[in-house]
Amino acid sequence: MSELAQVNLARLRALLDDPSMRGFVDALDGIHRLAEAGLGFVWRLGTGADHGLVVVTVDGGPAFLNLSLWEDYAARHGFVYRSGHGGFVRNRSRWFTTTRQPSTALWWVPAGTRPTAGDAARRLQHLRTHRPSPRALTAAGVPN
């Protein structure tokens, strides 16, 4: 059995303690609880301190790395676009800069596998360097 891994790397417009990021930061714990209670949610990287965020440096600035596992694409899609999280997707330009490169990659992992942030970054870089493949898919390439 396999689970669907997804990584999203989003460049922050400001540091998390900047007042412009308050709406994002204040909602994080609730969004994480919503995901964790969601149908088909398996796991996410980054629990505990700092609202469970994994913040990395990209091109000299802060970026938010989100890595999660889902039972299947339908479960992930339902959470991302059809739950309370969807409003954050629609308003993402308030907190994140835009990029011409893919910011999300998906791939299948054996059930019970827990990818690291490094694994996820390599998958995303693979997608950015090469075309979508089983190593790193776009949402359009995930078979249901």
Give mean pLDDT, residues 5-26. Answer: 93
Residue 92 sits in a domain of what CATH number? 3.30.70.100
The predicted-structure confidence for 106-135, as pLDDT tens digits, reads as follows: 999 999 999 999 999 999 999 999 999 999
Residue 143 reports pLDDT greater than 80: no
Q: Give the count of domains, the chain.
A: 1
Termini Cα distance of the chain: 14
- Rounded to the nearest integer, the mean pLDDT of the chain is 90
Residue 70 reports pLDDT greater than 80: yes
Q: What percent of the chain has pLDDT over 70?
A: 94
Whole-number pLDDT of residue 88: 82
* Tokens (6 digits) for 31: 């969004």
Confidence of residue 83 (pLDDT cuts 50, 70, 90): confident
Whole-number pLDDT of residue 53: 77
Whole-number pLDDT of residue 59: 81
Q: Between 127 and 90, whose confidence is greater? A: 127
Whole-number pLDDT of residue 55: 82
Whole-number pLDDT of residue 121: 92
Residue 51 reports pLDDT greater than 90: no
All residues at 6 or more sequence positions from 140 whose CB lies less than 8 Å from its CB, including other chains: 132
Domain span at residue 134 reads 2-141
Give CA–CA dist 101/69, Å, rounded.
22
Residue 144 reports pLDDT greater than 70: no
